[in-house]
Structure 1
Amino acid sequence: MRSAQSAPICWATYGVLGGGSQEGAGSREQGAVSGGAIEGCGSRKWGARRRTAGCQIRVMKKYRSPVAWQRAHQLAIVTFKAADAAYHPRSRALLDQVRRAAISIEANIVEGYALSTPLQFRRHLRIALGSAAETECLIETASELGYLPDQTISRMRRLLDETLATLFGLVRKRSHPAPCSQLPAP
């Protein structure tokens, strides 16, 4: 018999929180259960009766746990501080837009994470990617116009590259679910 630690785990879908009017009745969405998060393993119905039938229930982590959010948050903080320090009437519109784009990255990661369905999470990750591309474009423009110091620009580029890499990884991971394997019977 396998130990619980070496048992295969289904990583095909993102954990889904139950709730709302369907509490206790089960949801027809793959992976949904009442009162917790579960990894979906192919069945289209999950209710209180089949909570652990073939898949591992996992605890929902806080939104601060994804590395993509951590990098996006660092980027937003650096961007806000740099924009505040470099404020000039000519650069106002550009730096305000850089702020909005940078904060949008982390806000979309959090919103998608909180909505708790794989489809909505992927959608918000893609929106975050769009905001990251916008941030990159605006940082380049601010750099070429000399609105921000070179040291700040290089730090922002590094954080943006890390954010984009983690976002691309998350989108790729969520777009192509791995096949599930069942947990062994007790």
Structure 2
Amino acid sequence: MNLKSFTELECWKRARLLRKEISEISKGFPNEEKYGLISQIRRSSRSVTANIAEGYGRFHFQENIQFCRQARGSLYETHDHLITACDEGYMTNEVLNEFEVKIDEVLKVLNGYINYLKKAKNPNN
């Protein structure tokens, strides 16, 4: 893999689209959630792309893998916040299901990148 920037990573691209959609939908949450759920869901979705980018900038494969694992954790946190938003009536089950499909797509690509990094770290295994 010969990339010039983390912005070329498919997992980062997909996480970016998810982040943008979450930012947009959270604008419709009640104002009382401004410092609660809105802040949390935006932070966690931003953490996904930020950790992928930071990992890419690390010199060692193992460090990159660790940041990608943190990105994966933030993706799960974002999913939990979306479930909370649905439970609170800020979005429908149908919208939640659409986000879950997108989260699953990001997760699959991110796991694929992690597996690639593991193999690159230990090419003889």
TM range (shorter): 0.7 to 0.9
Shift of 1:60: 4.0
Structure 2 residue aligned with 1:120, among 55, 60, 63?
63
- SS in structure 2 at match of 1:148: coil
The aligned residue for residue 77 of structure 1 is 20
- Whether 1:164 and 2:107 are equivalent positions in the alignment is yes
- SS in structure 2 at match of 1:64: helix
CA distance in 2, matches of 1:107, 1:77: 13
Structure 2, gaps ≥5 residues long = none
Shift of 1:80: 0.5
Shift of 1:64: 1.0
Asked if 2 retains the 8 angstrom alpha-carbon contact of 1:86 and 1:147, the reply is: yes
Asked if 1 retains the 8 angstrom alpha-carbon contact of 2:55 and 2:65, the reply is: yes
The aligned residue for residue 184 of structure 1 is none
CA distance in 2, matches of 1:155, 1:78: 11
CA distance in 1, matches of 2:53, 2:98: 23
The aligned residue for residue 54 of structure 2 is 111
- Whether 1:100 and 2:46 are equivalent positions in the alignment is no
CA distance in 1, matches of 2:16, 2:85: 20
Asked if 1 retains the 8 angstrom alpha-carbon contact of 2:22 and 2:42, the reply is: yes
Shift of 1:158: 2.0
Shift of 1:107: 0.5
Asked if 2 retains the 8 angstrom alpha-carbon contact of 1:82 and 1:152, the reply is: no
Q: AA paired with 2:9? A: P
Give % identity: 25
- Whether 1:87 and 2:34 are equivalent positions in the alignment is no
Structure 1, gaps ≥5 residues long = 1-57, 181-186
Pair member with larger Rg = 1
TM-score by length of 1: 0.59
Q: More displaced, 143-152 or 161-170? A: 143-152
Asked if 2 retains the 8 angstrom alpha-carbon contact of 1:74 and 1:159, the reply is: no
Asked if 2 retains the 8 angstrom alpha-carbon contact of 1:105 and 1:131, the reply is: yes
Shift of 1:59: 4.6
- SS in structure 2 at match of 1:115: coil
Asked if 2 retains the 8 angstrom alpha-carbon contact of 1:108 and 1:125, the reply is: yes
TM-score by length of 2: 0.85
Shift of 1:133: 1.0
Q: Which has the higher helix share?
A: 2
CA distance in 2, matches of 1:140, 1:120: 31
Q: Number of residues paired by the alignment? A: 122
